[in-house]
Amino acid sequence: MQAATIASHRFGFSEPSLAPLRSDPRAWVLEQFQHPGAFDTSGLIDSVQALLLTREVLRAALSAKPPEGASVPKDELGALTPSRKDLRQTNLKGLARRWQHTIETPTPVAERWVQFWSNHFCVAATKGTMLALVWPHEYEAIRPHAFGNFKELLRAATLHPAMLLYLDNAQSMGPASRAGARREKGLNENLARELLELHTLGVQAGYTQQDVTQTAMLLTGWTVSQQTGGKADFVPALHQPGSKVILGKTYREGPEALDQLLTDLSRHPQCARFMATKLCRHFVTDDPPPALVQAVAERFIATDGDLVATARALFGHDLAWSPAHPPKFKRPEELVLSAHRMLKLPVRGLEQNVAAVQAMGQALGRTPSPQGWPDRAQDWLSPDALLKRVQWADRFGEAYRASADARGLMRLAFADDLGTSTTQAIERAESGAQALSLALASPEFLRR
């Protein structure tokens, strides 16, 4: 695989032509981290508005009485209410803006970098309070910090209302806190566990259950509610009094302890190795070379978590560009977006495309766990998954039969890396629609 193909299809979202990249693919990638394309948030609601809208939807649903003799729906929202339509449109508007940006941005590798971090610090609309908060979390917490410092990104992602609600820290109370003792409610360890296991150190870092519990104690007080005006804030009445000991270090009572802990976690050697491994796995190959992981981890440590410096260590390393690495397998969303970008097509029929992505195994905004969407080929590669992708390619080819000459397009987009069998299949296609379908179902396009 030539370097321009790696830059376009593995690191980015599939350029319509390799010609602009060929002179220096590495420079094309690295320059994107100096001036990443700006994301337009105009017209999108913020997290406070999202919480207010969600509360109105839930209140309307819970207060609505079902017709006599009808059973109450199991869905948390109950029967359709006028507000639910507004909420759905709010969600779709945020997703539409994300897709539009991905297709049009002049810095697609930088956009993939943002989406990596969004998945790393994922939140999901799997409960009522989260229904409109997934996309605000991405454009308020992730995008503004993805090209800065890891500790600041970690703090923004952790203290965003979406994360506090998704992992239940908003309702966590210190057992000995004023509120906890009065209300007989207690500690929730979800955010503490994921902060250590998924967001910073990894499951093999050697921390104990006691470290998780102490971290949960330290996190008490950080909440979002009507009392905080819909914003993340520290409420002393919820905070567990006394010092906490985490990974052998003592943290004093109070809100300042969180910044101290996040700084220590971000500087932990295991954090650097954990993040370097995830980055190399996502952008390069499922089992990245140890030397590449080590180089990225060392740069992460040396720059105190400078994310642009970390990106340059990754994309500037020869091992990241080796043509010998087994290719990645595109997630369903990546598949749909790269098709639109390669064909220079805006997304038409947003809800149909969302349904298509979900049918291929990725329910957008609803990751099945806090781990985010999996990143190994084996997680997406199955006979049923391949069938669903071929079916999607058939529908796409039929819908956009007049939008592109698949034969010429694939030659421009893959050049010498377009295989003989794929070339022959497209050349022998009976129609433009079939040629486009075969192109999008080809091994070259399904992988990255």
The residue whose two tokens read 């794929």 is 422
Per-residue pLDDT of the chain (448 residues; tens, 9 = 90+): 899 999 999 999 999 999 999 999 999 999 999 999 999 999 999 999 888 888 777 776 666 554 444 343 444 434 445 467 777 788 889 999 999 999 999 999 999 999 999 999 999 998 888 889 999 999 999 999 999 999 999 999 999 999 999 999 999 999 999 998 887 678 999 999 999 999 999 998 999 999 999 999 999 999 998 788 889 999 999 999 999 999 999 999 999 999 999 999 999 999 999 999 999 999 999 999 999 999 999 999 999 999 999 999 999 999 999 999 999 999 999 999 999 999 999 998 899 999 999 999 999 999 999 999 999 999 998 899 899 999 999 999 999 988 889 999 999 999 999 999 999 999 999 999 999 999 999 999 999 9
CA distance 303 to 267: 10
Residue 226: the pLDDT is: 79
Name the phi and psi angles at 332, rounded to 5.
Answer: -55, -45
Q: How far apart are CA 322 and CA 317, in angstroms?
A: 9
Amino acid, res. 17: S
| 448 touches 9 (CB < 8 A) | yes
CA distance 256 to 205: 24
Closest CA to 160 of 126, 196, 130: 130
The DSSP bridge pattern shows strands 244-246 and 249-251 to be antiparallel
DSSP letter (8 states) at residue 306: B
Task: Check if the beta carbon of residue 320 is closer than 8 Å to that of residue 314.
Answer: yes
Chain position carrying tokens 């491994």: 277
CB-CB contact of 262 with 191 (8 Å): no
In this structure, are residues 239 and 179 in contact, taking their beta carbons and an 8 Å threshold?
Answer: no
The residue type found at 286 is D
Of 349, 355, 364, 398, nearest to 134 by C-alpha is 364
DSSP string, 11-47: ISS--S-STTTTT-HHHHHHHTTTSPPPP--TT---H
- What whole-number distance in Å separates Cα of residue 57 and Cα of residue 64? 11
DSSP 8-class letter at 441: T
Instruction: Identify the DSSP state of 6.
Output: I
Q: Are 184 and 196 in contact (CB under 8 A)?
A: no
Q: Where are the alpha helices (DSSP H) in 267-331?
A: 269-283, 290-302, 307-315
pLDDT confidence of residue 96: 95
- Read off the tokens for 290: 């140890």
| 360-to-9, 131, 251, 380, 381 alpha-carbon distances in Å | 20, 22, 46, 9, 11
Instruction: Write down the H helix ranges in 305-431.
Output: 307-315, 332-343, 350-359, 383-399, 406-414, 420-427
User: Concatenated DSSP letters for 151-208?
Assistant: HHHHHHHHSSHHHHHHTTGGG---TTSHHHHHHT-----HHHHHIIIIIIS-TTS---
Using alpha carbons, select from 296, 292, 315, 306 the residue that is nearest to residue 30: 315
In residues, how long is the chain?
448
372 phi-psi bin (left φ>0, alpha ψ -120 to 50, beta other) = left
What are the residue ranges spanned by the domains of the chain? 47-157, 167-266, 332-446
Measured distance CA(222)–CA(238) in Å, rounded: 8
